[in-house]
Amino acid sequence: MVIGGGVHGLSTALHLAKRGMKKVVLLEKRYLGSGATEWSNARVIPQHGTEEMLKITSKCLEIFNNFDETIGGGGDPQNIQTGRIWSGSEERVADMKSAAADHERWGAKISFLSREDLKEIWPGEINVEDLAIAINYEETSYCNPMATVNAFATRARQFGAIIYEDTEVTGIKVAGGKITSVVTNQGEIATPVVVNAAGLWSDRIGRMAGVDIPIKVIRQEVTFFHPPWDFSPVIPQLHDTVYEVVYGPDRSGLINVYDRYQVAQEKLTDPDTDNHEAAQESVTLNMKMMIPRFPAMARASFRGGPTGAYDMTPDSAPILGVVPEVEGFYLDCGWSGDGFMTSPLMGDMIAELIITGRTTFIDISRFDLGRFARGEFLVGPWYSPDADVAEKLNQRRVNLSLPDWMTQG
Ligand SMILES: Cc1cc2nc3c(=O)[nH]c(=O)nc-3n(C[C@H](O)[C@H](O)[C@H](O)COP(=O)(O)OP(=O)(O)OC[C@H]3O[C@@H](n4cnc5c(N)ncnc54)[C@H](O)[C@@H]3O)c2cc1C
């Protein structure tokens, strides 16, 4: 029994059925993809704070790049390779070089770019004077999240999985330390195995089984801008750490811009009642952050702020695997903003864990729930730079302004 029809639940159901498990059932309380997945930028970026996650993401890139052979079934995640540039000012050079060295050692394909290279990518458009480092994660891509949902769901059904939408899990029964059944708004279903892939709701599902899952549901506001007609698209994607703003292309020709520092400010939300719209202050801030880097974007027009949320864990790493206190309860949640890119392989790893008791691609035991009680943090709180780096970022942001013509009536 898989709870949650996002990319993780669907990938798990698909792989359980593909590996020959009978009676695989997935329950989704609304419609497939209607959690964080629907709002996802769906980027696949081999740049992580742990070796395991980077290796999983690199493997997922291979899967997305060869979807017909790996997942099959006729679906198409609409994967487009763009690369992604990680750029910073002088005070970031040492820590970015050190992180990039780790990423390269763990298998990411990176290249260092000069200011001239950046000017060639965005001729006449980019200001580079304050940039002292720029690293391209060349294999980075982005997909269409709902096309991926459709592809996973179709393939899962082809292998025999049964998917129920509009079916809300309201309780989990446990007897003698073992899962016995799941209660839904449509009735009760006996099962010895439950996978909690409920994303933003995974703490609620945990409580139903008497398990405390430490996630916070934190908004990530995204803004879309229509660039001026003479502006080239933001390809590669750009993560500009000078302001902590991220730019990416969108299939419709708009530019997707978000504040990567926002999650650190913990705008908590309830995923059942969130309005999914970026606040005006975010629209203004993102606009202000674009202009010093790409002055032409002062002529961009705002085209909406579709906003989702992350299921953030205390160390920004996912919570995976068994729960020793409740036999049959498996966790695949707490993806902390990185859940799309890991989904095709992670579903297979959770399926393998359920069927064989272990994962072969990589040992995920460090990602267990028990690590928090043991005080073993894997990455760290979201964006926690040295105090002087944070101070410089804050100062730069305070000094930003909109052009006069935008603020005068
Ligand atoms: C703005 C934004 C941008 C992002 N960009 C990226 C990115 O570029 N790359 C990346 O890798 N990740 C990104 N993410 C994160 C990524 O989208 C998520 O980590 C991923 O989609 C999580 O998938 P999931 O299947 O774990 O959870 P979800 O998609 O949240 O699915 C959980 C499902 O469980 C269902 N559910 C909940 N409770 C119940 C219940 N009681 N009974 C039945 N069903 C239930 C929900 O309705 C939901 O459909 C982004 C997220 C956001 C918000």
Q: Is the CB of 144 under 6 A from ligand 1?
A: no
| pLDDT given for residue 216 in this prediction | 97
- Say if domain 1-79+141-215+314-378 classifies as CATH 3.40.50.1980: no
- The pLDDT of 377-396, averaged and rounded, is 84
pLDDT for 370 beyond 70: yes
Rounded mean pLDDT of 95-108? 96
Q: What average pLDDT does the structure give for the chain?
A: 95
Residues 307 and 269: beta-carbon distance below 8 Å: no
Choose which residue among 43, 82, 340, 343 to substitute to test ligand 1 binding: the one with the highest number of ligand atoms within 8 A of its C-beta.
Answer: 340
3-class SS letters over 300-369? CEECCCECEEEEECCCCCCEEEECCCCECEEEEECCCCCHHHHHHHHHHHHHHHHHHCCCCCCCCHHHCC
List, for residues 376-386, the tens digit of each pLDDT value: 999 877 777 77
Residue 308 Cβ contacting ligand 1 at under 6 Å: yes
Q: Please name which of 114, 7, 28, 100 lies closest in space to residue 340, comparing C-alpha atoms.
A: 7
Q: Give tens-digit pLDDT for 227-256.
A: 998 888 778 999 999 999 999 999 989 999
Mean pLDDT over 337-353 rounds to: 98
What is the rounded CA–CA span in Å between residue 233 and residue 228?
Answer: 10
Instruction: Give the per-residue pLDDT at 386.
Output: 78
pLDDT exceeds 90 at position 112: yes
Determine the average pLDDT of the residues in 29-52. 97
Angle at the Cα of 163 from the Cα atoms of 34 and 152, rounded to 5 degrees: 65
From the CA of 221, give the closest atom in ligand 1: 1
For residue 403, pLDDT beyond 90? no
- pLDDT tens for 54-77 read 999 999 999 999 999 999 999 999
Q: Is 200 within 8 Å of 309 (Cβ atoms)?
A: yes
* Rounded Cα gap, residues 26 and 153, in angstroms: 10
Express each pLDDT in 195-205 by its tens digit.
999 999 999 99
How far is it, in rounded angstroms, from Cα 124 to Cα 406? 23
Per-residue model confidence as pLDDT tens digits over 242-293: 999 999 999 989 999 999 999 988 999 999 999 999 999 999 999 999 999 9
pLDDT band for position 409 (cuts 50, 70, 90): low
113 lines ligand 1 (CB under 6 A): no
Query: In angstroms, what is the span from residue 37 Cα to ligand 1's centroid?
Result: 4
For residue 258, the ligand 1 atom closest to its alpha carbon is 1
Between helix 280-293 and helix 387-398 the angle, nearest 10°, is 100
Check pocket membership of 200 for ligand 1, CB cut-off 6 A.
yes
- The residue whose C-alpha atom lies closest to atom 41 belonging to ligand 1 is 169
Average pLDDT over residues 78-87: 98
Give the position of tokens 């959690």: 35
For residue 407, the model assigns a pLDDT of: 78
Q: What pLDDT does residue 233 have? A: 77
pLDDT (0 to 100) of residue 207: 98
CA-CA distance, 154 to 102, in Å (whole number)? Answer: 37
Lowest model confidence (mean pLDDT) among 30-39, 137-146, 288-297, 388-397: 388-397
* 3-state SS record for 33-61: CCCHHHHCCCEECCCCCCHHHHHHHHHHH
Residue 120: predicted pLDDT: 96
Residue 225 has pLDDT above 90, yes or no: yes
Q: How far, in Å, from the CA of 6 to the mean position of ligand 1?
A: 5
Close Cβ partners of 405 (under 8 Å, ≥ 6 residues apart)? none
Per-residue pLDDT of 318-336, as tens digits, reads 999 999 999 999 999 999 9
Q: pLDDT at residue 52 above 90?
A: yes
Cβ pair 8, 202 in contact under 8 A: no
The label of the residue with tokens 């304050």 reads 130
Please choose, from the candidates 63, 22, 111, the residue with its C-alpha nearest in 3D space to the C-alpha of residue 345: 63
pLDDT of residue 299: 92
User: What does the pLDDT average to over 48-52?
Assistant: 93
Reported confidence tier of residue 402, pLDDT bands at 50, 70, 90: confident
Which of 37, 182, 286, 367 is the best mutation target for the ligand 1 pocket, counting ligand atoms within 8 Å of the beta carbon and taking the most? Answer: 37
Of 185-189, 322-326, 404-408, the one with minimum mean pLDDT is 404-408
Q: Is the CB of 75 under 6 A from ligand 1?
A: no
Which sequence spans correspond to the domains of the chain? 1-79+141-215+314-378
Predicted local confidence at residue 384, as pLDDT: 72
